[in-house]
A and B are shown apart, each in its own frame.
Chain A
């Protein structure tokens, strides 16, 4: 086995995307995944492909990633189940509508026009099933949704077809630097490469800690639930303003309900305990916003294990303690849409040591600063 140029630790979407973009540049890459590719958040998230509501620092990346999504078949030879019927964030009160109005203005000031404010009439046209009490919304017309596991697997398959290698079911146990190489020790022997990328998601802080740069990563398990097929009533992905909700109907009629409520993760055993009392709150939100859903059958609920940073934006960029190491983790429950572009950024950094996209806000060193005083 030849020594790869890069070892990627973690076979989620960001790891697979990094592998794909590296392979496209002719760089030899090995991905090490402790379970199977897409096992955690990458494979079981809500699948939202959304620019709407992004943190200002993330907007440029999100906008760039959206262009990749709209040509996803060219990138990975699979449509990833991507559909672009827009994303809508509704206001239930005049006060909420005012919040949305200010948000749209803020985004425009930053030079972006993808978020649009719409009134009650246009909301009714766009999403006739919304409860009549909703007074308006932000719409992001070219946002959409995709199938998470299918997407992650498509990135893996395309990367493999370009020469990337994947080893699944082995876990990284240690990192060692010797003779200019990183030695990645695993539960099944050691692998070495001059460079490593940490895309280990909810386990990424363990890697960072080994490099002497601990991060305040919180392991979270956002809960989702899905209904039995319903008659079609909703095309865009829908969110609310005053309460957590992410809501969408698949083409097969099933309705996915998510949005913030969390289960209890146990990252050591890959287990998540669901909290039905909290899921009941999501159910009440849907009950209020979509009367058509009141008799819907909930057939399954689940939670993916992922990483949240205290400022709710990811870590993207080079290690500040170790040479030839890059990080991409901590996407704080909204990393799926960024997957295509983050892999491109990391590959660009590795190949050229620079990127045109503004990644300074995602520097791992930001956690070195004292947070209070």
Chain B
């Protein structure tokens, strides 16, 4: 971006993440006249759901579907606004005084904001099965990103495995694009239907219902779907060669495969929010940590709000509405005299939010991942970075390590570059089961900044400020 404005030292509002929540919030804040910056790690706005929507090389609109193209509106609104969108920006710290550490093109900066809206969205739930670290195994979300941002589809024998709407959406998009799929291994436990059924009525009214059903039927007509998969592993020497599974109580089946795409739902990306001390609670329906927020996404840390899936999984449309609410709160706090016609009507936003949130619990129950695929055993790796197995974790509990933090000193579990993003939930649940207590009692890794690695050189080159000079004096 050659004519991008220079980054300032301070803003009224800093928004972290340019997905639906961040984009919607930015347009409102900037529209009300607040100086607004949006930091986003990707090269284009959209987040993961609308990834590369302005620049995708996928020419045929029908491949990705209208829900994807809807995101163009949000990108256009962001571009049309006075908000300063900074792509390629990695936020690595946020303090309680709302000082943001951010790296852009290899240079680190500290930026101050009066209000911060964390809109860092979701990431895919860990899927710790034997062999999940082999080249050739990746997440369905990753595969979808390759399709959206690069127009790439798998080549060779391709198997999708897991549970949840994204898996089916990817299969549908792949079929639209002309990809060949060998099988879908559905790991959704059969028993989920029973617990989900009482909530079906609410889902029938959800905007997701009709679309979801049509998509599901369309995929089922064209791909071999194996239901009730109860055991799953990836095998290969140095890369994936076969997917081995068992359906129900049946015999083990071996499917030669070049690509295995796994998915069992998404969970909030909590690292930045936890690192600034925002309280999170264990959500037993979504089996993950969700931050404690008020009706506007506000948290107990003054001036910091969370919007979008990072505040609890509810999908892209809900994220957009929650982004608007967080923005409304920021505008009311910083610019109480903003003209009403510049702002969306709160009651209408809440109505829209209620409509798109309808039936969420049905989906949570229906696609609740099986214990088998969340709580691995034996040599299955849990921490991919430091290569720590499920067995090691359970054995360390017996040493007296009652939580994930105590374990670090023995196993380095969660201390690699991903900083617990790919193992945190698994470790918490494994310890909870071993101790016979709830995940809430066990807690999560104590996450500390930088929440993404920065080089020593970047840190050393940070512009000196007053605090630094004081630190020298007292050091």
A residues at B contact (CB < 8 Å): 36, 38, 43, 147-150, 153, 156-157, 227-228, 243-244, 252, 254, 260-262, 269, 271, 273-281, 283-284, 286-287, 293-302
Contacts and interface: CB of A to CB of B under 8 A. Distances in A.
Most buried by A among B95, B467, B471: B471
A57 to B, nearest CB: 23
B299 to A, nearest CB: 14
Interface stretch (B69-77, B233-241, B458-466): B458-466
A363 B450 CA distance: 41
A281 B467 contact: no
Listed from nearest, the 5 A-B pairs whose CB atoms lie closest are A278-B471, A149-B409, A277-B468, A283-B460, A283-B459
B406 interface: yes
Given A274-B95, A299-B419, A286 B456 contact: yes
Interface stretch (B136-144, B363-371, B410-418): B410-418
B400 A153 contact: yes
Contacts of B433: none
Contacts of A286: 456, 460
B101 interface: yes
Interface in B359-410: 399-403, 406, 408-410
Nearest to A255: B456
Most buried by B among A156, A243, A276: A276
A300 B450 CA distance: 5
B453 A228 contact: yes
A161 B464 CA distance: 52
B283 to A, nearest CB: 23
A258 to B, nearest CB: 12
Query: What bracket does the count of chain B residues touching chain A fall in?
Result: 35 or more
Nearest to A294: B457
B449 A277 contact: no
A278 B409 contact: no
B347 interface: no
A277 B456 contact: no
Contact of A296 (B99, B450, B455, B468): B455
B467 A300 contact: no
Contacts of B460: 280, 283-284, 286-287, 294
Contacts of B461: 280
Contacts of A252: 412
6 contacts: A228-B453, A276-B459, A283-B462, A287-B460, A295-B456, A300-B450
Contacts of B93: 274, 276
Contacts of B449: 274, 276, 300-301
Interface string B89-103: 000010111010100
B400 A157 contact: yes
A298 B453 CA distance: 5
B415 A300 contact: yes
Given A275-B471, A276-B449, A276-B462, 8 more contacts: A149-B409, A153-B409, A252-B412, A274-B93, A279-B459, A280-B460, A280-B464, A294-B456
B298 to A, nearest CB: 18
Given A275-B467, A278-B467, A244 B410 contact: no
B10 to A, nearest CB: 15
A295 B468 contact: no
B254 interface: no
B448 interface: yes
A36 B95 CA distance: 25
B277 A296 contact: no
A38 B406 contact: yes
B472 interface: yes
Nearest to B95: A273
Contact of A149 (B101, B406, B415, B456): B406
Given A156-B400, A301-B448, A244 B475 contact: yes
A294 to B, nearest CB: 5
B334 interface: no
A228 B385 CA distance: 11
Contact of B453 (A147, A278, A297): A297
Interface string B413-427: 001110100000000
A36 B435 CA distance: 15
B454 interface: yes
Contacts of A273: 95-97
B301 to A, nearest CB: 10
A294 B458 CA distance: 9
B437 to A, nearest CB: 12
Contacts of A156: 400
Contacts of B97: 273
Contacts of A300: 415, 419, 448-450
Contacts of A296: 455-456
Contact of B448 (A244, A260, A297, A302): A302
Nearest to A227: B456
B62 to A, nearest CB: 43
Contacts of A275: 467, 471
Contacts of B448: 274, 300-302
A283 B406 CA distance: 27
B474 interface: yes
Most buried by A among B449, B457, B460: B460
A262 B406 contact: no
Contacts of A299: 415-417, 419, 450, 453
A301 B452 CA distance: 11
B313 interface: no
A280 B462 CA distance: 6
B456 A283 contact: yes
Given A148-B409, A228-B453, A295-B456, A277 B417 contact: no
Given A43-B409, A276-B93, A297 B475 contact: no
Given A150-B409, A228-B417, A299-B415, A276 B453 contact: no
A227 B455 CA distance: 9
Nearest to B414: A300
Contacts of A280: 459-462, 464, 468
A287 B457 contact: yes
B325 interface: no
Interface string B163-186: 000000000000000000000000
B110 interface: yes
Contact of B471 (A254, A281, A298): A281
